[in-house]
Homo-oligomer: A and B are copies of this chain.
Amino acid sequence: MKKLKAELVAVGTEILLGQIDNSHARYLSTDLAAIGVPVYFHSSVGDNLDRVVATIALAMSRSDIVIVTGGLGPTGDDLTRDAVAKALGLPLTYDEEAFTTFVKPYFDRIGRVAKPIQQSQARRVGTATFLPNLRGTAPGQYLVHQEKHIFLLPGPPLEMRPMYLEQVRPVLMALLGETMITSRVLRFFGIGEADAEHQLADLLRDQTNPTIAPLAGEGEILFRITAKAKDEDSANALIDPVSREILSRIGQFFYGYEQDSIASVALNTLVKAGKTVSFAESCTGGLATSMLVDFPGASRTLKGSVVAYADEVKAAMIDVSEDELAQYGAVSEQVAKSMAIGTRARFGTDYAVSITGIAGPDGGTEQKPVGLVYFAIADATDCHVFYRLFAGDRAQIRLRSAKVALHALFQRVNENRG
């Protein structure tokens, strides 16, 4: 397998002014790392011909693959084609056929007439191949020059990403001598990032095909397994044993694949089980319910919720006794339990989930510090109560609490299904 060094160049004054992020750098780097192309440099440069020329020339002098994003629009500020031609000493030629094939059809589709200025988008750098753009007016270009490969891609992410995936990555795979790349994402909750990476340290270090990349955020961790092979079956045959090995080590924290979220797996499990749910939320203030409602199928299982922020609401709306509130306090095992049982009865659902805690920054005591949150899950036979003590600020405590509640619900419904 050949070793090809890549470099990314983003063109656009709005990046240099801080008006937008150069989000392409991370997107492309992640994928290039997954397919085994090391990236050595990222650069961003404004819409200035001399500076873009210098940046392209430097990139082509030191890297095998240069991916340039942005600056392919039709206006005078869009300098990428001119700069690449100048940097490589190549002509830039208007190509009527390219205009008809790659620029005009987009205008036909949206029912407009291409303006003369749009012809600049059909100017070809040397003998470059045009890359069709179904989502915008700027076709990309791909050129091999002195055994270096340069790709010019449009700046808008919704145009750049599919063009990269559909038209650039296959070329890179062919250069690498591979034909197929397949990824699988495994998602975990309830295990720390450091702990997970420690338990998988040898795999993370030694695996080259497939590669394993960890990504962590807000209490969750995911591992992306990426294989290169001649076809999808062969790629999956490489991924399967690695996936099994990871699950054999930290499988008790596994909850889903790919785009799953804790809310979506909780929702799907409830729908599959044909069960309904309601919530009583205090410190989370409706966040757990809202995370479930993010998904279109929510109406098939969610009846509703009470945000019982004030104690009087806990009493009036979901039948928590005032004695219990006075004796144990709103943040207690007893009140969490009564909230879940009262809510289940009021809403007439199969399950009810309660969350009551201290999100801070005020309201903590020595016995009940900020971050202490009680949870209860009531079903037809039982009411399971537990607590967590979270670190972090108010927003983190609330988000983690909502996730823990939904995850516990997911597990409980699964257990009941056997």
Shortest distance between the CB of A222 and any CB in chain B (Å):
13
- Most B C-beta atoms less than 10 A away, residue of A289, A298, A304: A304
Contact string against B for A residues 356-399, beta-carbon threshold 8 Å, 1 for contact and 0 otherwise = 00011110000000000000000000000000000000110010
- Of the candidates B10, B45, B304, the one whose C-beta lies within 8 Å of that of A313 is B304
**Residues of B contacting A362 in the complex (Cβ-Cβ under 8 angstroms):** 296
Smallest CB–CB gap between A317 and chain B, Å? Answer: 7
Contact B289 A307 (CB under 8 A): yes
Which of B26, B285, B360 is A292 in contact with, Cβ under 8 Å?
B285
A29 close to B17 (CB less than 8 A): yes
CA distance A309 to B45 in the complex (A): 50
Q: Which residues of B contact A304 (CB under 8 A)?
A: 306-310, 313, 317
Q: When the two chains form their complex, are residues A25 and B27 in contact, meaning their CB atoms are under 8 A apart?
A: no
Contact partners of A44 in chain B: CB under 8 A: 25, 41-43
Interface centre among A16, A31, A312 (most CB of B within 10 A): A16
Q: Does A270 contact B (CB under 8 A)?
A: no
Closest approach, in angstroms, between the C-beta of A68 and any C-beta of chain B? 14
Query: Nearest Cβ distance between residue A53 and chain B, in whole angstroms?
Result: 13
- Interface residues as binary, A176-207 with B (CB distance below 8 Å gives 1, 0 otherwise): 00000000000000000000000000000000
Residue A145 at the B interface, CB < 8 A? no
With a cutoff of 8 Å between Cβ atoms, the chain B residues found around residue A74 in the complex are: none
Which A residues from 242 to 280 make CB contacts under 8 A with B? Answer: 279
Q: Are A294 and B398 in contact (CB under 8 A)?
A: yes
* Residue on B nearest A17 in the bound complex, by CB: B33
Complex alpha-carbon distance, A365 and B336, angstroms: 41
Determine the main DSSP class of A at the interface with B. Answer: mixed
The reply to whether A29 and B33 form a contact with Cβ atoms under 8 Å apart is no
**For the complex, is A46 an interface residue (Cβ under 8 Å from B)?**
yes
The residue in chain B whose Cβ has the minimal distance to the Cβ of A30 is B18
> What is the minimal beta-carbon distance from A23 to any residue of chain B, in angstroms?
8
List, in ascending order, chain B residues with CB within 8 A of A29's CB: 15-18
CB atoms of A296 and B22 under 8 A apart: no
Interface residue ranges of A199-248 to B (CB < 8 Å): 213, 215
Q: Tell me which of B20, B281, B310, B346 contacts A303 (CB under 8 A).
A: B310
**CB-defined contacts of A292 to chain B, threshold 8 Å:** 285
Do B307 and A305 touch across chains, with their CB atoms under 8 A apart? yes
A33: contacting residue among B18, B346, B394, CB under 8 A? B18
State whether A294 touches B395 (Cβ < 8 A).
yes
A337–B228 Cα distance when bound, in Å, is 58
**Considering only CB atoms, which chain B residue lies closest to A43 in the complex?**
B43
The answer on a CB contact under 8 Å between B361 and A296 is yes
Contact A40 B33 (CB under 8 A): no
- Contact between B18 and A28, CB atoms less than 8 A apart: yes
| Residue A332, interface by CB 8 Å | no
User: A31, A361, A394 — which one has the most chain B CB atoms within 10 A of its CB?
Assistant: A394
In the complex, A347 has a CB within 8 A of chain B: yes
Determine whether the beta carbon of A290 is less than 8 Å from that of B293: no
What are 26 residue pairs bridging A and B, where the CB atoms are less than 8 Å apart in the complex?
A: A16-B41, A18-B25, A18-B28, A18-B33, A21-B25, A22-B26, A40-B48, A41-B43, A41-B44, A43-B44, A285-B290, A285-B292, A285-B293, A285-B298, A286-B287, A286-B288, A296-B361, A296-B362, A296-B394, A303-B312, A305-B306, A305-B307, A305-B309, A306-B306, A307-B307, A313-B347
* Those 5 A-B pairs whose CB atoms lie nearest each other, nearest first: A286-B286, A285-B293, A18-B30, A18-B29, A304-B313
